[in-house]
Structure 1
């Protein structure tokens, strides 16, 4: 990108200035805990982040601490689907042949995992040594996105002279005679900042060797996603795509209008790291002068999918960094790429969500 013009309209105060001018630091920005209280969202704990730099977003504590609403300069970035942010107590985990995950899919970030991602199916479970259940059946993108977190804390702290807004929690996916995986999630953003730093660690707290798959479904919707908006990534090659790509012939690099009853289009791209050794993918809206980008660790997320939901009433672009290729669970076990965690072993994921007012290439 070109020159960054993301400076907030009000200069970011230092600690003394903030204390002198405001009895409450929330006068500039902060984190507030609320509870949603209507419809299928009723009862969900939410942490509302306001940076003072034009960025605001919601952390859905009871939905794996995923990010729901996300706005930059009052423009909605995170996709708002018709499902809303469904309370996990209403989630239909095993219904519709494993596709019921789609009934609670909304927001900027929906996490997939912790032991399964991608399409569902039945796989061997003999490693859990429980004869009554020789196999386990998974639904689309696993269970973790509909599990409430144990909130460790949230607030504002000063680090090397800058104020950091933060939240931290733990999501436990466990059953008897099965997986016991723990996701430790920390979300940070600087006061006045326009970048969200997401740090995840997934650990096997059980004593059986356990498969691990992980994915972020990062969903961008209107009005940041609009006609003429560009998908930007350094793509070495496209490894796979759905049949709908050739059948529909709809561009995946520059977007047009929603299409009646369009079939989803999915691509697996092999990305080229930038000069810092990171994958950078994003969406640039030149009309609004705004951009949204993901900065990814290739060692953690070697695979990347682009998901296009192009139909009327549900228009969205999904950016999906993944630990595994599109063939999924059974194929990963077959070709040896499945991640197996022994007791106490863990995997770490560091990702940056970058919002900018500059869209020059």
Structure 2
């Protein structure tokens, strides 16, 4: 892990062993990542990634395992796709009090034998503390491939009290307490409500105020042209105690249903698709 920080930003630790995702995210001396307070899904790649504050699902699959069509051995796409555990090739790494920038290439071997390339850029505006992520995924296979994407942001829920709310235009009545759904956990997925910004469509939501970090609120924004949905997840089934904020490219239905309804985003060899997310604590 390498610390990445500028000005008013949190100190985030980027994981060079796994697509330069975020491990620790330290605000006012408190790490918001869940660590081992996560469910064990039987996949050590995902256990490692899920411990951190942000990991990336895709590009060949998101969510839970599904069969690979036509595979005679019954092989499945792995939990949350193939990104996790692929090492990042660092291209640039600059940190100052005013801003920070880190870029990397991540060649990815897909579960069905195909290939993809993730080109990743992290930026920090030191004056506001905002952290920005820009991704480009390119199909480097010799045949067309569908592409999926989800950012899985995880917060240790033991840090949240009853005053913490989810807020955003995509939520019923504009928001509600963080303990949504049935106990000890729940999942839902909604259409993101977008606002135009500089020629691009973005959505924003927030989680807070979080007393454990001085009453700050986590604000998350994401591009809705390629991430048109927001999935929310929480799990308080011991030893898990985590809340997930998950901007995502596809509805929460089985892969077969997405394909049948024409909702795959197909990339021809050499074609790319871009995604972006930003967050700050205010």
Q: In the superposition, relative to structure 1, how do residues 192 and 222 fare at CA in structure 2: closer, same or farther (>3 Å)?
A: farther
Q: Over residues 205-242 of structure 1, what are the superposed CA-to-partner deviations in whole Å (9 max), with x where a residue is unaligned?
A: 1211112111111111246433321111212669xxxx
Note the C-alpha offset of 1:78. 2.6
Structure 1 position 253 matched with structure 2 position 184: no
Query: Does the aligned pair in 1 maintain the 2:82–2:110 contact within 8 Å?
Result: no
Aligned to 2:29: 74
* Among 70, 79, 88, the residue aligned to 1:149: 88
Q: Which has the higher contact order (CA 8 A, sep 6+)?
A: 2
Greater percentage in strand: 2
Aligned to 1:343: 269
Greater percentage in helix: 1
Note the C-alpha offset of 1:275. 6.0
**Structure 1: runs of 5 or more not aligned:** 1-45, 84-91, 126-131, 239-251, 357-361
2:177 alignment partner, SS class: coil
**Structure 2: runs of 5 or more not aligned:** none
Q: Over residues 188-218 of structure 1, what are the superposed CA-to-partner deviations in whole Å (9 max), with x where a residue is unaligned?
A: 1123441111000000112111121111111
What TM-score, normalized to structure 1?
0.68
Q: Over residues 89-120 of structure 1, what are the superposed CA-to-partner deviations in whole Å (9 max), with x where a residue is unaligned?
A: xxx9xx95xx5555322111011011111111
Highest Rg: 1 or 2?
A: 1
Which 10-residue stretch deviates more, 312-321 or 104-113? 312-321
What TM-score, normalized to structure 2?
0.86
Structure 1 position 272 matched with structure 2 position 211: no
1:178 alignment partner, SS class: coil
* Among 227, 232, 235, the residue aligned to 1:309: 235
Note the C-alpha offset of 1:286. 5.8
Counterpart CA distance in 1 for 2:148 and 2:44 is 19
Query: Does the aligned pair in 1 maintain the 2:119–2:136 contact within 8 Å?
Result: yes
* Among 118, 132, 137, the residue aligned to 2:63: 118
Count, aligned residues: 273
CA RMSD of aligned residues (A): 2.9
Counterpart CA distance in 2 for 1:108 and 1:339 is 27
Counterpart CA distance in 2 for 1:349 and 1:293 is 18
Query: Does the aligned pair in 2 maintain the 1:155–1:166 contact within 8 Å?
Result: yes
Q: Spell out structure 1 runs of 4+ moving beyond 6 A.
A: none
